[in-house]
Every structure is written in C-alpha cells, then in structure tokens.
Structure 1
Amino acid sequence: MEFNANRVDDANAVITSTISKDVIEANLDKVAKQAAKTMDIQGFRKGKVPVAVVKQRYAEKLREDAEGEALRNVLSLGLAELKIANEDIVGEPAVSKYEKQDNGDIEIEVKLACKPNVDLGDYKALIPAVEDKAVDSEAVDARIQEMASSQAPLKKIARKRMVRDQDHALIDFEGFVDGVAFEGGKAEKYPLHIGSGSFIPGFEEQVIGMKYDEQKDITVTFPAEYQSKDLAGKEAVFKVTLHEIQEKGEAEINDEFAAKMLPGEEGATVETLKAKIEEQMKAEAKGTYYREELKPAYLDSLVETLNFALPGSVVEQEVNFALNNKVRAMAEDEIKALQEDAAKIESMRDELKEDAEKSVKATFIVDALAKAEGVEVNDQEVTQVIYYEAMQMGQNPQDVLKQYQDAGYLPAIKMSMIEDKVITKLLDEKLGQ
C-alpha cells in the first residue's frame, strides 16, 4: 500500500494513499466471516452460514464496510506518522479524493484540520488601560426612587377622568379569535400599566381615552413570533371593561423600605441600601465598559499581533455561515442573480474570508488564554445561564435548553462564556494594579 502523510502547516495536513485491491479483498473476507457468525439466513443454522453465501447476498454492503475499514486504517497510520492526537483534530477529516482504478486499487486523499499551536507571547502587555468606573450619587438616588415607586401601592384616583398614558387601568378583558374565546385570554380586575408594553402591541394605546364602566372592543394582531403558535400572526378582538383608574401612592424611602429591599441584611438602613445600589450600578457600568469597549479592543490587538496557522476547514465553515446569513437577507431577485452566476458567489466568499479568518483566529486565541489563565466553564454553568435567561423572558427553561441543543448552539454559548470570564479576569487584574 502506497502511503504519504504531510503537514501543510501547523494546522493542516494531507494524507494520500493508494489502497491495493488485495487489501480490500482481505478486508472483505474478514468482514464476511464476522457477519457469517451472526447472520440468520433461511436454510442455514445461525452461525453456520457459508461465507460465500454471505458475500453473494450482501456484496455491496460488505464491500462498503471493507473499503471503510481500509480508509480508517490509512487515517490511523497517517495520524501516527504525523504525531497528531485524536483530540487535536478539529472537525471531521475530509475525504477530498476517492477514485477507484480499473485494476481495483483505490486512490484517496484525506485533508485534516488540527488545533493550531498558539504562542501568546506577552499577552498581558497588550491589555488596554482600565479605568475605574464611578457612579454619580444622583444616579443612585434615582435608582432607589424608581425602586420605591415600583413598590408603592396603587390607589384609585380622586376624581373620574379618561385613561391617560402611564395610568394603571383596572380592567376586565376576554379575547376572541374568529369569534372563539382562546385559552389564557381572559382576566378580571387586571391592573394594566398603560405604556408598559406588557400587552400585545396596540392594545394599551386603545385603552387610552376609556371612561369609567365603559365597555369597548379592542382589535389587535398577535406578533408573527408570538410564543403560542396557535395565535401567532392572527387578529384578535378583546372585549374590555374599565372599572377604575389607579395611580401610584407616595413612595416613602426610609429604613423600613431599605430592610424590605435587603431581606438578608441585618439592621439595613437607607445608607446601607445606597451602598448596595452603588455597588450594583458600578458592576453594571463596569460590565458595559468591558463588553463594549475593552474586550473588543483587546481581542483586535491580539488578532493583529499574534500569527499562527488556521485550520482551513474551520475558516471555510465560518465563510459558509456568513454567506448563508448574507443570502437570507437578500431579495428574491438578488438570490436569483447569484444562482445564475457562480462567479458572484465566489466573489462574495472572497469578501467574507478576511473577517472569517479573524473570527476563527480570535476563537483559538481565547481558547489559549483560557488555558494559560486556568479558566474553565462547565456544562452545568452553561445550563444555569440558559435557565436564568429563559425565566427572565418568561419562557420554559427546559424547552429553551432543548431548542439550543437541537440547533447545536451550546458549544458557541460555552465559548462566549469562557471569553467573557477570561478577559474579565485579565481586565480586573489590570484594574487592580
């Protein structure tokens, strides 16, 4: 068997081989003998089926298995020759050539993508300057006032008038689609905050102007992406009755309120609450600062400075992903023009390649940073984040997790979490210097 294994560069390799007909036939005999031990064919006792009969009946399938075994053997020999461990292979090996010759030999070429060796050098020297983000005391007071307002009780307005924006309207409602009431579309004495955007678009605006004890039909259309597929995109009529208009009472900010807002804090006071809110707002400001300014700048600097080979197949996948996204946003006539001119598609691929290479490069840099800094994210942490975000959106966490699993999003979510964790660690260290 002719065999050759070469590294194109640090992240790519090519294995070529000519598998002789004799090797295929020997494999064929072996897989046929193995199959004969377990096959149940009428007229023969189980385990006593002649190999010749097995070969005759299942010739095509057995030959596929024999060729597959030969290909796996070539790959195994190639990896050993190149000293590449299985865990260092990125994606699946690509069989770029598989030609059967007239004499029964098979010529093959297999392309491999490997994890590149990323030399980070003095990566900490590239970390940008980090400022400590202060929070204005007025902003802290405004946040506490907002919290107090949300906790203040609702009370009926002193005089009767029509509903205005930002009022709290106490209403009964029942929804109908095509004249039929639907599940979950009915409530009594419901306190609706007008302008909150908590109802279907267009509903709250039509409550404005209603008077006490007025009954009104409100027509709206459910969003196309509405969570209930039975209602998504459909027009609905809500029969609404206004009982009263309510407004928030006075918001008292005192130690009692502080204790309510900090249930685990013993002896909480307004000053304690202010300190906690200031700390929280500083963390929020720092997170935004890191995420929107420092992290992109640091990654761009690393991508620009560090040089290493990239796995070709991974870059190709990234280009395909970007191309598909671009095509989805095109009009029908633009897509038709692309289908009629392959050169335009190749031109688009060339335009997208540079950004694809930068994205792939950044991914391997983050992976190397995480190893250098001992940063890890386990599957349980990923699940917890997905659960938390799903609950925040009022969605079923298990359904969202399964959705992400089926779509293959979990590795990308995990990598994003690792990126945030390791770069935040580095920026925090810089801030503390």
Structure 2
Amino acid sequence: MKANLEKIENNLAILEIQVDPGKFEEAMEKSYRKNVKNISIPGFRKGRAPRKIVEARYGEGIFYEDAINFAVPEAYSYAVKETGIKPVDQPKIEIVQIGQGKPFIFKAEVTVKPEVKLGEYKGIEAEKIEFEVTDEAINKELEYLRQKNARLVAVEDRPVQEGDIAIIDFEGFIDGRPLEGGKNENYSLEIGSKSFVPGFEDQLIGVRAGEEKEIKITFPEGYRSEELSGKDAVFKVRVKEIKKKELPELDDEFAKDVSEFETLKELKDDIENKLKQGLEEISRSTLESTVINRAVENAQVDIPQVMIENEIDILIQDFSSKLSYSGTNLKQYLKYNNLTEEDLRNRFKDEAYHNVKRALVLEAIAEVEGIQATDDEIENKVKEIAEKYNQNPEEFRKKLGERQVEIIKDNIVMKKTVDFLIQNSKIKVKKQSKENETAGEQKDIQD
C-alpha cells in the first residue's frame, strides 16, 4: 500500500492512495462471496456459480462496488496515519484506476484540522476576584432553610395576603378562546413570588377562600411565545384554600432538625464554608474564562465550515436533551416558538465558532508547550469515573473503547493547558463581597 499527500490548500488535503493488486484481489473475492448467493446462472445452482463464470457473463465490474467498500476504509486509515494529516470530516472518494491485475488507485479529498497561529498566551493580564462571605449571605441561606422547613397552616378568617400560599383552579382565555396550556387545578401559588405573569398575583390579594375572580393581564412585549407577546388575557380563577407559613425559630433545635449538626453555630459555620467553596469556584471559573478568551482572541485560525456545523450538531443535541428533562422535545419547542431548524442552527452559530476556536487554540498551546496526559493520569481519571458510577475500575476500563479513552486523555490535556495559562498569567487579586443567591431564589418562572 502506498500513500501520497498531493497538497493541502484551504484546509483541504488530497491523498492519492494505491492498493496492491493482491490486496485488492482479496477485496474482490470477499465481494464475490457476499454477492454470489443472489446470482443465478443457467447450469449452476443459485449461489454456486464460479466467480470467473459470473465475471464472464456480467463483467468483472459486477463486484467492484463492494470490493471498493471493503478496500477503501483500511487503505484510507493507513494513508491518514502515514501522512500525519488530521481529518475533521468524511473524505470524498474518486476512483483513479481499477482492474484485474492492476493496483487499485483512488484519491481522497478531506477537510483537515486548520493551522493555528498563536498570539500572546503567556503573561496575559487578568483580575481574580476573591469574594468574601458576608453575614448577610449566611443569614439569607438560613432564611431559605427556614422557609423550606416552614409549616403550612390553613387560613379561614381572612382573605389572601402577600406571602400566602393560595390553592387555585384557573383557566386563561384570549379573545374568548381557551389559552393552550393555560389551565390548571389545585395549583399552589405563593403570592409575591412573581412566578406568574406580572399582575396576576397582585389581583388575588383580598380574595377569600371559595371566591372566584376574573383576572385581566397583558403578556409582556417580547414574551417567549411570540403568539402571546403583548396580548391581553383573562383568567378565571377560583381560590380553593389559603395557607400561610409558620417559620421555625433559629436555634439549636432548628439546626438539629435540618442538618447533621447539634448547634446553630455549627450549621452557620458549615454554610459559610460551602458558600466560600462555591464563590471560589465562581472566581476560578471567571478567571479561566478571561485568560482563555484572551488567548483565543490573540490567535488566528481559518476554521472550516464543516467543523462549525459539526459543533452546532452537538449543541443542538445537548439542547434537545435538556428539553427532554423539562417534558418537551425539540419539535415541540420549534413549533411553540415559531422557529425553523435553520433558525435554531443560526442561533448556535456564534457559540459553535467560539467553542471550535477555543478547542483548537488550547490544543495548539498544548502541542507547543509539550503538555501531555501521562498513563497514570489517564488511569486515575478512569478510576474516578468508574467510582462515580459505582463500577469496578478494572472492569470499567475494559468496557471503554479507544475513542472514549482518547476523550478522557484530551480532557486531561485541556485541563492541564488551562492550568498552564493561569500559572503563566499576570493576575491581580481584587477582594469583593458578594451576596450569594440562596437556592430559594433560583426559581423556575411560570410565566
């Protein structure tokens, strides 16, 4: 087998690959055995006609298609390794020569990984913010725990107030027609949570249990559903029950009830440590993004369109998976938001471009700096993943394919490369207090 790299231009490589006559003959024989069972020739039982007889009757070309399919993948893989190119797409194949007793020659045109011209990536100036956990942040987290562990007590002697939980049935209408998805029963709505369309919750204040009320609202301009944006709607609402929260006292008993700690002080200390860890992760992540983005901005690379399209495919696949967790799918999302698949692809185009360029630049830096993943690092990572999924590390390692191990290796190299960039940056530390959002403030918005 021989391989010749003819040229690389505009990220396109053309390989001329030659397969020895004997090797191609093996592919022809394999093709014959695959197809002869479907061939009938007078004087022979079906599937028993000798190859020479079949070729004499139909021409030797009858077996070319499958022979090519058998010969090309192995020969192409050999040529890629021999020439050292890095394809990023499937090749286009052109047959140059084929025939008995002759070498099988074909050309493969393939898009290859582009060359990256690195700019400045050492000595990048960046700011790292060291967040300080304030008493207010700790108290907000404690308040969230109080709210989470509050008792709900039925209210019968007054109407709905701010902070109450109203148990309601409701149905929405636009122009007298029922609003799709705008009906629910026994829905628990916290008044003041701002989880419904603006104006909805405020109009329930003053309504008593058992009473009904028509609530008129206007969907905001730019609402996520274009069909509802700016539209007036009427909701028929029945308040079935009113409940209020009774909050527990902040004392040692509270700490015992909501945690593994014996005292309120121990609980506060634990909250403070967790907030510090979370804020440090935010600080580190922000610093990493800054340094990486600067290195990427300073580099030049002509990215093939196919790499961007492939990354868009990955982003859409991830997006589709997230939609499935929320009980919908991509087709429904597109219909609901009046989008086409092309619209969605365009939305992901910039992100895909940045992701591809980022990966190429980090890979180029790793290559220049000789950053690699050691066998021990790979094995330790495999062990870590196996333990995460409660699997035996040795058995898990055997199940991993070559591609999966390569992904683990690449991830280790990327992490070490980012660490290298951080270590070689000029970092100024800035202290800043940050009021951390409690889990209770990170709510899904019903509107």
- TM-score (structure 1 length as normaliser): 0.56
1:135 to 133, 157, 162: 133
Is 2:276 aligned against 1:282?
yes
Q: How does 1:85-96 map to 2 (within 5 A)?
A: 89-95=86-92
State the match for 1:15 in structure 2: 15
State the match for 1:317 in structure 2: 306
State the match for 1:211 in structure 2: 208
2:290 to 284, 297, 303: 297
Superposition deviation, residue 289 in structure 1 = 2.0
Could you tell which deviates more after superposition, 197-206 or 149-158?
A: 197-206
- SS of 1:160's equivalent in the other structure is coil
Superposition deviation, residue 136 in structure 1 = 0.9
What letter is aligned with 1:269? T
Q: Deviations over 1:48-105 (max 9, x none)?
A: 12325655579776322233345345424524533x4xxx95544422x626689998
| CA shift in 2, pair 1:219/1:422, >3 Å | farther
2:244 to 229, 238, 247: 247
| CA shift in 2, pair 1:287/1:24, >3 Å | closer
Superposition deviation, residue 286 in structure 1 = 1.8
Give the count of matched residue pairs. 356
Cα distance in 2 for residues equivalent to 1:58 and 1:380: 58
Tell me if structure 2 keeps the 8 A contact 1:171–1:240.
Answer: yes
Cα distance in 1 for residues equivalent to 2:365 and 2:191: 46
Is 2:2 aligned against 1:5?
no
1:167 to 158, 164, 169: 164
What letter is aligned with 1:110? E
State the match for 2:45 in structure 1: 45
Is 2:377 aligned against 1:374?
yes
Superposition deviation, residue 258 in structure 1 = 0.8
Cα distance in 2 for residues equivalent to 1:209 and 1:415: 61
What residue ranges of structure 2 are gaps of 5+ in the alignment?
A: 226-231, 316-333, 390-405, 428-447
Q: Deviations over 1:119-176 (max 9, x none)?
A: 9x997x7695755432012221232123213322233558523x34432224456899
State the match for 1:399 in structure 2: none
Tell me if structure 2 keeps the 8 A contact 1:174–1:239.
Answer: yes
| CA shift in 2, pair 1:72/1:42, >3 Å | same
- SS of 2:373's equivalent in the other structure is helix
| CA shift in 2, pair 1:274/1:122, >3 Å | same
Cα distance in 2 for residues equivalent to 1:356 and 1:67: 37
Cα distance in 2 for residues equivalent to 1:145 and 1:172: 30
Cα distance in 2 for residues equivalent to 1:413 and 1:240: 54
Q: Deviations over 1:288-342 (max 9, x none)?
A: 22223x01122134446789xx7x7x743344468999xx9xx99xx9xxxxxxx
What letter is aligned with 2:15? I
- SS of 1:133's equivalent in the other structure is strand
Q: How does 1:27-66 map to 2 (within 5 A)?
A: 29-35=28-34, 38-39=37-38, 41=40, 44-45=44-45, 47-51=47-51, 54-55=54-55, 62-66=63-67
Tell me if structure 2 keeps the 8 A contact 1:130–1:427.
Answer: no
What residue ranges of structure 1 are gaps of 5+ in the alignment?
A: 226-234, 336-344, 386-410
Cα RMSD, aligned residues only: 6.2
State the match for 1:232 in structure 2: none
State the match for 2:152 in structure 1: 154
1:98 to 88, 91, 94: 94
Cα distance in 1 for residues equivalent to 2:271 and 2:155: 32
| CA shift in 2, pair 1:218/1:302, >3 Å | same
Could you tell which deviates more after superposition, 130-139 or 109-118?
A: 109-118
Tell me if structure 1 keeps the 8 A contact 2:18–2:106.
Answer: yes
Cα distance in 2 for residues equivalent to 1:236 and 1:45: 77
Is 2:104 aligned against 1:111?
no
Identity %: 22
Tell me if structure 2 keeps the 8 A contact 1:206–1:218.
Answer: yes
- SS of 1:371's equivalent in the other structure is coil
What letter is aligned with 1:98? E
Tell me if structure 2 keeps the 8 A contact 1:157–1:246.
Answer: yes
What letter is aligned with 2:266? T
What letter is aligned with 2:64? R
| CA shift in 2, pair 1:253/1:220, >3 Å | same
Tell me if structure 1 keeps the 8 A contact 2:150–2:245.
Answer: yes
- SS of 2:153's equivalent in the other structure is strand
State the match for 1:339 in structure 2: none
Tell me if structure 1 keeps the 8 A contact 2:213–2:238.
Answer: yes
Tell me if structure 2 keeps the 8 A contact 1:127–1:427.
Answer: no
Q: How does 1:164-243 map to 2 (within 5 A)?
A: 164-171=161-168, 185-187=184-186, 191-196=188-193, 204=201, 207-216=204-213, 240-243=237-240
Superposition deviation, residue 271 in structure 1 = 0.5
Tell me if structure 2 keeps the 8 A contact 1:155–1:249.
Answer: yes
Tell me if structure 2 keeps the 8 A contact 1:218–1:238.
Answer: yes
Quick check: which one's strand share is greater? 2
